[in-house]
Chain A
C-alpha cells in the first residue's frame, strides 16, 4: 500500500467552485507539505505543517487554504478556483531521520475551466 495517498487523482472543475484535495499518510511523520507543479516552474510550496497545531504559508499560498485534521491527514482547499490554478498538486511528508527525505504522493491533476 502507498505510504502517501492523494484523492482525487484527477479533477476537472469550473471557475468559482470550491474544491478540496485530500492527503493521507501512513508513515507517522509530523511534517506535511503541499506543492504545485507547473511545466517549466518546478515544484512550489503552497503550505506546510509541522504538526496538527502548526500550519505555515509557503511561497504561493494566495487562493489556497489548508486543514490538518490529524497527524495523518492534510487537506488543501481552493476556495474559488480560477484557471491559473490548473496544475499538478503534490502532498508530501518528511522524515525526522537522516537523510530527512520528503516522501511524495502520486499527485492530483487539477483542471479549472
Chain B
C-alpha cells in the first residue's frame, strides 16, 4: 500500500529551468512533510520540510507548495543547476512528537533529477 505517491520517476531539466516534483498522500493524520535529497553513494539528507498549517515554504531556490484539501504537496527548484542533479524523496509522518507511532517517515518512491547544461 503506497501511502505517499511521487511523480515523476525521472526528470530532465535544462540549466536555469524549474524542476517540479509532485507527491500525493492518503493518510489525513500526516502532519509533517519533508523532502530529502540524495546524491549517488550518499545517504538522503533533509532539504526542506513543511507543516500543513502553511501553504508554502521557501528556502533559497527550493519551495514546497502544500494543498491540504487535495492532499498534495510539491517541490519546486527554481533556477535549476547541474549540482541539483540527485534523487529527491518526499516523505510524510504523523509528527515529531513521541506517540505510539512516533516519527516514522513514509517515503515516496523517489525522483531522479538530471539538470543538463
On A, residues with C-beta under 8 Å from B are 4, 31, 40-45, 48, 50, 56, 58, 90, 92, 94, 96, 98-107
The size of the chain B interface, using a CB distance under 8 A, is 23
Interface residues of B (CB under 8 A from A): 6, 9, 32, 34, 41-46, 49, 89, 96, 98, 102-110
Say yes or no: B110 contacts A42, CB within 8 Å. Answer: yes
Residues of B within 8 A of A48 (CB): 102, 104
A-B contact pairs, 17 of them (CB 8 A): A40-B9, A40-B109, A41-B109, A42-B6, A43-B105, A43-B107, A44-B107, A45-B106, A50-B102, A92-B43, A99-B46, A100-B32, A101-B46, A101-B49, A104-B44, A104-B45, A107-B43
A90 close to B109 (CB less than 8 A): no
